[in-house]
Structure 1
Amino acid sequence: MAEKSTIDSGVPVETSSDAHYLEEPTGDVALPAGWKYRGRRILGVNIPWYASPKVQLGMVAFVCFLCPGMFNALGGMGGGGQIVNTTADNMNTALYSTFAVFGFFGGTFVNRLGVRWTLAFGGIGYCIYAIALLVSVHSTKVGAFNIVAGTLLGVCAGLLWTAQGTIMISYPNESQKGRYFAWFWGIFNMGAVIGGLIPLGQDINIKTNKTVTDGTYIAFIVLMFTGAVLALFLCNATDIVRPDGTRVVLMKNPSWQSEFIGLYETIKFEPFVILLFPMFWSSNWFTTYQVNSVNGARFDTRTKALNSVLYYMAQIIAAGIFGYALDIERVRRSVRAKTVLAVLLMLTMAIWGGGYAYEKKYTRTVNSSGDANYVPTDWGTDGYVGVMFLYFFYGFYDAAWQASVYWFMGALSNSGRRSANYVGFYKGIQSAGAAVMWSLDSGKLSYKSEFISNWVLLSISLLCAAPVIFLKIKDHVTVEEDLIGTDETLADVLPQGHSEKGGLA
Structure 2
Amino acid sequence: MSSHGDEESGTETQLSSKSNIFRYNSPLVQVSLTGFVCFCCPGMFNALSGIGAGGQVDPTASDNSLTALYTTFAVFGVLGGGICNVLGTRLTLFCSCFTYVLYTGSFLYYNHHHDQFFAIVAGSLLGVGAGLLWAAQGAIMTSYPPPARKGTYISLFWTIFNMGGVIGGLIPFILNFHRTTAASVNDATYIAFMCFMSAGAILSLSILPPGSVVRNDGTRCTNIKYSSVSTEGVEIVKLFMNWKMLLIVPAAWYSNFFYTYLFNNVNGALFNLRTRGLNNMFYWAAEMLGSVGIGYLMDFSFQSRRNRGFVGIGVAALLGTVIWGGGFSNQLRYSHHDLQEKLDFASGGDFAGPFLLYLSFGLLDAIFQSIVYWIIGCLANDSETLSRYVGFYKGVQSAGAAVAWQVDRHKVSFMSQLIVNWSLSTVSYPLLVVLVMLAVKDDINTEKGNVQEDTIPSTNSASVNDNNGGLDITT
TM-score, length of structure 2 as denominator length:
0.91
Quick one: distance in 2 between partners of 1:8 and 1:174?
A: 29
Quick one: distance in 2 between partners of 1:158 and 1:237?
A: 19
Partner of 1:324: 296
Find out whether 1:133 has 2:107 as its counterpart.
yes
CA deviations 1:318-374 (Å, max 9, x no partner) are: 00000111111752101001111111111121000000000110001233xxxxxx5
Q: 1:292 aligns with which of 251, 256, 264?
A: 264
Find out whether 1:405 has 2:379 as its counterpart.
no
Partner of 2:422: 455
Quick one: distance in 1 between partners of 2:285 and 2:437?
A: 32
Q: Secondary structure at the match of 2:342?
A: coil
Task: Report how far residue 265 of structure 1 moved.
Answer: 4.5
Quick one: distance in 2 between partners of 1:266 and 1:247?
A: 26
Q: Which has the higher contact order (CA 8 A, sep 6+)?
A: 2
RMSD: 2.3
Q: Give unmatched runs, 5+ long, in structure 1.
A: 25-38, 40-46, 368-373, 499-505
Judging changes above 3 Å, is the alpha-carbon distance between structure 1 residues 479 and 242 closer, same or farther for their aligned structure 2 residues? Answer: farther
Q: Which amino acid aligns with 1:111?
A: N
Alignment of 1:45-444 (within 5 A): 48-140=22-114, 142-265=115-238, 271-328=243-300, 330-367=302-339, 375-381=341-347, 382-444=349-411
Task: Report how far residue 144 of structure 1 moved.
Answer: 2.1
Q: Which amino acid aligns with 2:121?
A: V
TM-score, length of structure 1 as denominator length:
0.86
Asked if structure 2 preserves the Cα contact closer than 8 Å seen for 1:174 and 1:414, the reply is: yes
Asked if structure 1 preserves the Cα contact closer than 8 Å seen for 2:99 and 2:125, the reply is: yes
Task: Report how far residue 413 of structure 1 moved.
Answer: 1.1
Pairs aligned (count): 454
Partner of 1:466: 433
Identify, as 1 or 2, the structure richer in helix.
Answer: 2
Task: Report how far residue 119 of structure 1 moved.
Answer: 0.6
Q: Which amino acid aligns with 2:456?
A: P
Partner of 1:35: none
CA deviations 1:98-154 (Å, max 9, x no partner) are: 0000001111011111110111111000000000011001102x3221111000000
Q: Which amino acid aligns with 1:395?
A: G
Task: Report how far residue 93 of structure 1 moved.
Answer: 0.2
Judging changes above 3 Å, is the alpha-carbon distance between structure 1 residues 9 and 294 closer, same or farther for their aligned structure 2 residues? Answer: farther
Asked if structure 2 preserves the Cα contact closer than 8 Å seen for 1:414 and 1:479, the reply is: no
Q: Secondary structure at the match of 1:444?
A: coil
Judging changes above 3 Å, is the alpha-carbon distance between structure 1 residues 9 and 185 closer, same or farther for their aligned structure 2 residues? Answer: farther
CA deviations 1:434-481 (Å, max 9, x no partner) are: 000011111111111111110011101112222112222111332884
Q: Which amino acid aligns with 2:389?
A: Y
Task: Report how far residue 209 of structure 1 moved.
Answer: 4.8
Is 474-483 or 425-434 further displaced after alignment?
A: 474-483
Quick one: distance in 1 between partners of 2:457 and 2:231?
A: 27
Q: Which amino acid aligns with 1:384?
A: F
Q: Give unmatched runs, 5+ long, in structure 2.
A: 460-475
Asked if structure 1 preserves the Cα contact closer than 8 Å seen for 2:79 and 2:391, the reply is: yes
Task: Report how far residue 234 of structure 1 moved.
Answer: 1.4
Asked if structure 1 preserves the Cα contact closer than 8 Å seen for 2:93 and 2:201, the reply is: yes
Is 104-113 or 253-262 further displaced after alignment?
A: 253-262
Partner of 1:446: 413
Q: Which amino acid aligns with 1:13?
A: T
Task: Report how far residue 263 of structure 1 moved.
Answer: 2.4
Partner of 1:31: none
Quick one: distance in 2 between partners of 1:450 and 1:55?
A: 40
